[in-house]
Every structure is written in C-alpha cells, then in structure tokens.
Chain A
Amino acid sequence: MTHNIYLYILTAAAVSFLIRVLPLTLIRGKIKNPFIRSFLYYVPYVTLAVMTFPAIITAPQIPLAGILALIAGIIAAWKGLNMMGIAALCCAVVFICEAAAPYFL
C-alpha cells in the first residue's frame, strides 16, 4: 500500500512534539534530588560537546579545515569573543582553508 505524505509528516511531527514538551510541562519546579540535579546540570555541556566533536571535522569538505576551525573557535571563546563572532570565525577559517588548499595539496 502507498502511504500519504501528509500523514507521515504529521506522525513525525506529533512524536517530535511530545518528546519536546512532555518533560517541560510535567516537571514543575525544582528537582530536589541532588543526583538528578547534578545530572541535569551536566547534560547540556556533555550534549553540546558530543555533538560538536568530531562532527566539526567531518562537516567541511576538508577535515583539516574543521580541526583548525575548532581550535580557532576554542581560542576565541576562551578570550571571550561573542557567539556570533565565534560562529563567523569558524566559517571564515573553513572557507579560507578550503580556498587555499588547492595551492598546498
């Protein structure tokens, strides 16, 4: 049987919606358990770190460009550059590396 694309989209949307809103609506107020509190405190940093690396290396066409973008981004963040600046810097590093690569490789 063939399926309806709109029903596919709505099924996917409904599941995504429930995953996203259930904890936010069910968990009201501060969790008291110290382990769960600590766990949720670390979750964002672990998730973001895991998503960033090694994906930043595999996303550009040339892995080295990604490595340099990562290093440049970390240094800039350490020095206190703002979010938009860091994002732009990483893009620029990749763009320049890839534009320069043909002359070196």
Chain B
Amino acid sequence: MYWLAIKTLFHEKGRLVITLIGIVFSTVLSITQIAMYLGMMGNATSILRHIDADIWVAAKNIQNFDFANPFPEERINRVNAIPEVLWSDRLILTWGFLKLANGGQEQVQIIGFNPDTGIDVPWNILAGNPKDLKSGRYMFIDKTSEQRVGRLELNSIWELNDKRFKLIGLSEGIKSFTTSPIVFMSYNQAQSFMTMTGWKSNHASFLVARLKDKSRSRDVAELLKTYLKDNDVFTKEDIIYKTVMYWTVQTGMGMGFFLTAILGLIVGGAIVGQTVYANTMEHLREFGTLKALGAKNSDIYKVIFAQTGISAVAGYIAGSVLILLARDGIEKAGVSLYLSAGLFLALFLVILLTCLLSAYFSVRKVRTLDPVMVFRM
C-alpha cells in the first residue's frame, strides 16, 4: 500500500506542491519562533550558564539576572564560612553609556569581575587576554556589538560615562537579552564606575560560589538562606529558571513567541489537513474500489498516513534547509537563533504529529465508506 501512496502522491504534483508549501510555512514559522525564543533565553542566561558557580547570592527579591540591585560585598565572608565552598567571588552588573564616534551614545551592560578567580568570562575570545583587565581602565567588548557601536579596533580608546577605557580584547557571540552590548572590565573598575551612579563603593551585584561537591548545591543554598536573610540565594539552576520565567511569563514575551509558533503549527496543519481531506474526497471512488476488491480499512489508512507522512518529511526538510540558509542573514540582523539537532528533531516530531492528526478526518471518512458505492457511480 505504501507503493500506491507514493505513486498517487507524486502523480498529482500540483496538490503535492500545495501540501508542501503548507508544511514548509508551518516549519519555518514554528522553528524560527522557537529558535528565536530559545536564542533570546540563551542570551538572557549566557553569563549565568557560563560562569562555573554553583551558588548565586543576589539582593532580595530581584526579578532576574539583568535587574541586579547592589548589596554589601562583605557578606561574602558568610559564604566563605561554609566549609563546602571551594571558592567564592563578587560580581558587578551595572549599566553605562558608551560614547560613539558620531557623538551619540549607546547603553551597555557592564560586567565587573576578578579575572584571577574561577569566573571564566568573557569566553569565545577573538583577541586579548581577560587577565589583563585587572591592570587598569581596560575593557573587553563583544564583536557582535559593532552594529551598535561602530568599528571595534583593539587598543582604541572609548568613553564610558565620561571615563576613558582602552579596548584590549574582543569576544564573539556574547549577547544580553536586552541586546545592549556587554562590556567586561575588572571588578574594581566596575565598582568605581558604579559609585558614579550613586552606589556605595563597597557594594556588589552578586556573590558567586563554587562548591567542592556540586551535588550539595541545594543543601548549601538552603543553609546560606538562613545566614543571609537580606539576600536571595539561588542554585545555578534556580537563578537561570527565575530569569527565564521572568522574560517568558512575567513580560508575556515567551507567550507571544509560543502563540506564534502554535499559530504556525495550526495553519500548517490546517493546510495539510485540508489538502489531504480534499485528496481523500477526490479519491473516494478509488478507495471504495479498493475496499470492494478486498482492501481492509487499515490498508487504506496506510495510504493516507503514508502520503501525509511523506509530505511532512519532505516539507520539513525543505523548511529546515530554508532556515539554515537564512540563518546567517537573520543573525547578522541581530536576531539570535538557537538551532540544534535536538530542536530540529523535536519540531519534526511535533509537525509530523500535527500532519498525521490532520489526516484524521480523511481516515474517518474512509472508515465509514461503503464499498457498495462503486456500483452506484
């Protein structure tokens, strides 16, 4: 019966093209929406994921990683008092304005850290050595910021909130959720910088700690909560989750992406369902003949599902290839796409299932088809 499915499917090329267009549309829309969402969530959590810390201490009731509030850095002593802690350090996240060559300015996210500890940022380094950041007013910036701030040349001098910084290194592909360029500098520079915006000089945005045994992170976090009642204490997973949920649920942004992806699936499924159903209706006489000649319902279901499945696979492959071809262009426009084998596989299963479900009405029609009809027409 698969043989018949293939012969019939490719005999009616016009109908096949319409079906494929529906599936390609569905694939492109669904994958790009989900890949954009995952890309943005990847950006929102990239620093959290990359810093090899098991515990994160933040100001009380922070909404997400990007909206950090300062708190006294001396509280790091309480973290260090926990025997399970291998090392700990302070981190600053603040915002500033980078003056541009054309006289304008661009808001940037500033990450201040101690290059001598295990806070291994930035990563994907194109040029420079992060350890040199501690030597003065030096900064790293991400190459992808060029679209926003102009050409980035090593050893060029940039003005950041009226302070002059030398660009000594470039990273590649480190983006923030807000799309603001990320500037890395030493903890001390970031802290002195922070005082310009009214903060006290001995404040930090986060304390991070690496444990001797990662599996104890939940217990240590609970213990630290009893010591640091004026702070929130998270495991790495918890703060990532909180950040993702903030952007996804509290801002409604995630729901927007989700609804568009679902819309893509529904529209694609409707097109496939409609063409498969129209195809079934057009071939009722043939299906009736098949039944009269001794085919079982299951034989005819195989034909319908095989045609739908083949269309789904072909349409999905075509849609995926289109996305991969367009990927560079989309990312150059500043949109982050998270595309992985897992995502392609998961979406394939969803789209295949959608297509097969859309064939349900055709199957129902065939199930009730009376083979006597072949004598009546």
Q: Are A and B bound to each other?
A: no
Residues of B within 8 A of A (CB): none
